[in-house]
Amino acid sequence: MTAAAEAQAAAPAQKKRGFSLPSAYTILFILIVIVALATWIIPAGTYEYNSDGSPIPGTYHRVDQNPARILTDTLTAPINGMYGIEGADGSISYYNSGTLFGAIDVALFILVIGGFLGVTMETGAIQAGIGRVVQRLRGRELRMIPILMVLFALGGTTYGMAEESLAFYLLIVTVMIAAGYDALTGAALLLLGCGIGVIGSTINPFSTGIASGFAGVSISDGLIARIIILVIGTAIGIWYVMRYARRVKNDPGQSMVASEREANIAHFNADAMNTAAADPMTGRQKLALVVFFLAFVAMIAGVVPWAELGISAVATRYWWFPEMTASFLFFAIIIGVVAGMKEGKFTDAFVNGARDLLGVALIIGIARGVTVIMNNGLITDTVLNAAENALVGLGGVAFANLVYAAFVPLSFLIPSSSGLATVAMPIMAPLASFANVDPAIVVTAFQTGNGLVNLVTPTSAVVMGGLAIARVPYGTWIRFVLPVLGLLVVLTVIVLSLDVLIGA
């Protein structure tokens, strides 16, 4: 860069006048109020459910209206979203495959992850380790992006890596900033890597597996179409993130979060990463770094359903948030021991790390509050029934693409992939026979529609939590990701249409 350009990049960013989106907290509270008002307008109704908690097609019926109390329910929705409780009339606040749960498990996981990272950062091991990686990749930092995005996409396509990715944000964003990129590059790497992997879920038992079961097909049916979406979609995501990263590297003023550049460097301690490269790592730091990575290996090994993937060499543990949270707490203690931390220093580091992610935990609870209002207002099944009625009698290509379109608004209402599969697939899959379409295509439409929405929906703990950790405003993320969403929609429509035509 020229001296003038360098001076311009170093100068503090001028604050632009005009409209700017409010914070994530405000956006979510506005959504809660809108949904609460909708419970007064949208007719209440419900399907009859079988013993598995799945709706029975053709059984939708109107019930008495149960509108939300605008003030009381709006204020209590985030709290109920945290606890996952039932409403006064027995309606479900939030469900996933028929199981009642709240956001408290995810929130506690986030707080313990913060404590785990706080303890590890206190040892100086992460700073020194990242500093060396960046130093060795000097001039080739861009290679980290495709490698990491492919790894996260593999996690998304095999076991639906979503909330688990929140554990990586602080580390990845810090690496990207230290390498000369920005916080948005790190957030995009994770969100698009995991998210596109989920869109192209191949053998993900938590969404594709559940949806295939309700559709009466094997998880391998429709696999080729999903692999095509996964490979091409991941390539699109890598190209887009690398293109943006190059622009930021060449001119930091081109960053979409340029005004926060200095604050982010300080917050993520990125300068220390580069400075630490000059100092030799101690034996304790090396051991702490090994334990640090073992914590993530243990999480992945515990979460992946190996048995359902046909792998018998590794025992399936079926871990979920309680086990993952306990695991990171255990590894935090081990890191403190190997680093020789005194009890007071360890607890201070853990509490300070958890404090840094407290806002993220609160956002997750507020996001779940939207679903609480919908379910207790008895309008979720009404929206589902409207989609069912709109799809009857369509031709093959039109049916496949309109099913895909129908899953987009449904995914805003029920962001959980397994939850949406449980309530929607028993209704949508039987409609395929009327259009002479393979039910496996409905599974692909469900997976791609739900995955697309979960890249942007403000009701997703992954989107709002990840952006909060990365310190990227929600409005900035929307502006960044819209072109990718358009390309992914075009890709999905083409693949779904060809799948119908080839199978006809």
Residue 74 located in a structural domain:
no
Residue 446 located in a structural domain:
no
Quick one: CA torsion of 133, 135, 136, 139, rounded to 10 degrees? 120
CA 288 → CA 17, 114, 270, 326, 335, distances in Å?
A: 47, 16, 19, 18, 5
Kindly report the number of other CB atoms within 10 A of residue 145's CB atom: 25
Please tell me the pTM assigned to this model: 0.70
Residue 296 located in a structural domain:
yes
**Alpha-carbon 294 to chain mean position:** 23
263-296 pLDDT tens trace: 888 888 766 555 555 567 788 989 998 998 898 8
Residue 116 located in a structural domain:
yes
Residue 408 located in a structural domain:
no
Residue 216 located in a structural domain:
yes
Q: Could you tell me the two tokens for 432?
A: 């395929």
In angstroms, the CA 385 to CA 404 distance is: 16
Per-residue pLDDT at 32 exceeds 80:
yes
Q: Could you tell me the two tokens for 133?
A: 């990686």
Cα dihedral sign for 316, 321, 322, 328?
positive
Domain assignment of residue 128, given as a range: 108-357
Rounded to a whole number of angstroms, the distance between the first and last alpha carbons of the chain is 57
Q: What is the number of domains present in the chain? A: 1
350-363 pLDDT tens trace: 999 888 778 777 87
Predicted confidence band of residue 134 (pLDDT cuts 50, 70, 90): low
Contact 116, 353 (CB under 8 A): yes
The SS3 call for residue 278 is: coil
pLDDT score, position 3 = 40
Residue 90 located in a structural domain:
no
447-483 pLDDT tens trace: 999 999 999 988 787 898 899 999 999 999 999 999 9
Per-residue pLDDT at 30 exceeds 60:
yes
157 against 85, higher pLDDT: 157
- Specify which residues 49 forms β-bridges with: 55
303 against 170, higher pLDDT: 170
Least confident residue range of 145-154, 159-168, 170-179, 404-413: 159-168
Q: Could you tell me the two tokens for 501?
A: 């035509």
53 against 340, higher pLDDT: 340
In angstroms, the CA 45 to CA 381 distance is: 6
The residue among 272, 1, 329 whose CA lies nearest residue 131 is 272
Each as own residue / partner, the long-range contacts of residues 46-51 (CB below 8 Å, 24 or more positions apart, any chain) are 46/378, 46/381, 47/381, 47/384, 47/385, 47/427
Residue 77 located in a structural domain:
no
